[in-house]
């Protein structure tokens, strides 16, 4: 059995998995979470960690340890997983990302321009477009503060992206499910803020590259290191290529799992989607299993991932 724990308003991301054959899965909100039946081991996945209020984060960090010590397999330790700021700062210090991130209340001057502003824990669009100077940045921060956004939640992120073709940007992603890494179909848009993708922008050549990313997963070693740095073992890392170097933008611990999106006119694109779905569901079944006896998950292995 798998329990996916989310914030109440974001439980839609995994509910579609409840009807998948061979997958015993339930989605619960943090306020609904109770310790599973002690006579049956479960896999518990903590998601939306960056959206938790401090008191709830502390409580769930302790809950993680209780579940782990009781013999359950638990993914994503709320007490150790890095949020967006911590991850981007750590990746820059590790030499993986060539751009940096700052908290607005650090009063730091960015090392490279342009930059943009966003709220930590918010996975929607940034609060600004690209800001080209300190003067523009200061004015944007002041306006945002006047509108009521707390400065402690405000991040300054240096912009670093590169179009795959003139005017066409691509986001790559890799899922981690326990010990498995799975390539995810690319997303293309006609602006630097690539989120959902726009139809009709990619051609057969790009879709062929896309299939290779999922089938061969050439970024697996680096993305494995990124997940290790983030202390996350379930989620999706999003990144782009700049000068051939991956630049990591975020890890979403509660990714929207679209297993059967609308079929694409490109058969290669459909093959890519099908390949991801097959690999993802195999990985979920592997961590979920059936109702094994307690001794099937010795405590010394309970937290190995």
- pLDDT tens figures, 45-99: 999 999 999 999 999 999 999 999 999 999 999 999 999 999 999 999 999 999 9
User: How far is Cα 186 from Cα 172, in angstroms, rounded to an integer?
Assistant: 5
Residue-level pLDDT at 78: 97
Note whether 216 and 260 are same-domain residues.
Answer: yes
Structure tokens at 254: 């509660």
In a domain, 149, yes or no: yes
Note whether 55 and 113 are same-domain residues.
Answer: no
Mean pLDDT over each residue of the chain, to the nearest integer:
90
Q: In what order do the strands lie in the sheet with 25-29?
A: 25-29, 2-6, 43-46, 73-75
Structural domain span for residue 22: 2-80
Average pLDDT over residues 111-134: 94
Whether the pLDDT of residue 31 is over 60: the answer is yes
Residue-level pLDDT at 123: 83
Q: Pick 199 or 138 by higher pLDDT.
A: 138
Burial of 200 (0-12, 13-18, 19+ CB in 10 A): exposed
Give the contacts of 239 (CB within 8 A, at least 6 positions apart). 171, 172, 173, 174, 219, 223, 246, 247, 248, 249
Note whether 190 and 253 are same-domain residues.
Answer: yes
Strand partners, 5: 28, 46
User: How far is Cα 27 from Cα 40, in angstroms, rounded to an integer?
Assistant: 17
The CATH number assigned to the domain holding 196 equals 3.30.470
pLDDT in tens, 238-294: 999 999 999 999 999 999 987 776 788 899 999 999 999 999 999 999 998 644 333
In a domain, 217, yes or no: yes
In a domain, 294, yes or no: no
Query: φ, ψ for residue 6 (rounded to 5)?
Result: -130, 170
Note whether 58 and 142 are same-domain residues.
Answer: no
Note whether 20 and 66 are same-domain residues.
Answer: yes
- How many residues appear in the chain? 305
Whether the pLDDT of residue 193 is over 50: the answer is yes
User: How far is Cα 117 from Cα 266, in angstroms, rounded to an integer?
Assistant: 36
Residue-level pLDDT at 39: 65
Note whether 180 and 280 are same-domain residues.
Answer: yes
Note whether 149 and 178 are same-domain residues.
Answer: no
**How many distinct structural domains can be found in the chain?**
3
Q: What is the pTM of this model?
A: 0.90
């Amino acid at each position: 059995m798998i329990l996916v724990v989310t914030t109440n308003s974001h439980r839609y991301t995994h509910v579609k998995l409840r009807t998948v054959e061979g997958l015993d899965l339930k989605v619960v909100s943090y306020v609904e979470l109770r310790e599973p039946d002690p006579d049956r081991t479960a896999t518990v996945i903590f998601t939306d960690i960056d959206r938790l209020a401090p008191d709830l984060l502390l409580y769930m960090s302790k809950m993680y340890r209780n579940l782990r010590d009781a013999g359950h397999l638990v993914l994503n330790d709320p007490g150790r997983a890095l949020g967006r700021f911590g991850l981007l700062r750590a990746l820059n210090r590790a030499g993986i990302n060539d751009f940096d991130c700052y908290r607005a209340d650090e009063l730091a001057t960015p090392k490279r321009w342009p930059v943009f502003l966003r709220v930590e824990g918010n996975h929607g669009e940034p609060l600004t477009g690209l800001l080209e100077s300190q003067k523009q940045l200061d004015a944007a921060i002041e306006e945002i503060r006047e509108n009521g956004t707390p400065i402690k939640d405000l991040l300054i992120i240096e912009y670093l992206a590169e179009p795959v073709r003139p005017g066409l940007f691509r986001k790559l992603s890799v899922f981690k499910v326990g010990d498995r890494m799975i390539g995810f179909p690319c997303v293309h848009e006609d602006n630097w803020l690539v989120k959902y993708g726009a139809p009709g922008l990619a051609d057969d050549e790009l879709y062929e590259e896309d299939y290779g990313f999922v089938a061969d997963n050439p970024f697996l070693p680096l993305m494995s290191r990124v997940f290790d740095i983030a202390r996350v073992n379930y989620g999706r890392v999003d990144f782009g290529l700049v000068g051939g170097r991956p630049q990591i933008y975020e890890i979403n611990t509660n990714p929207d799992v679209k297993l059967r999106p609308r079929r694409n006119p490109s058969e290669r694109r459909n093959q890519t989607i099908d390949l991801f779905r097959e690999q993802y569901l195999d990985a979920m079944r592997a961590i979920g299993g059936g109702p094994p006896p307690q001794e099937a998950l010795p405590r010394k292995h309970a937290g190995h991932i």
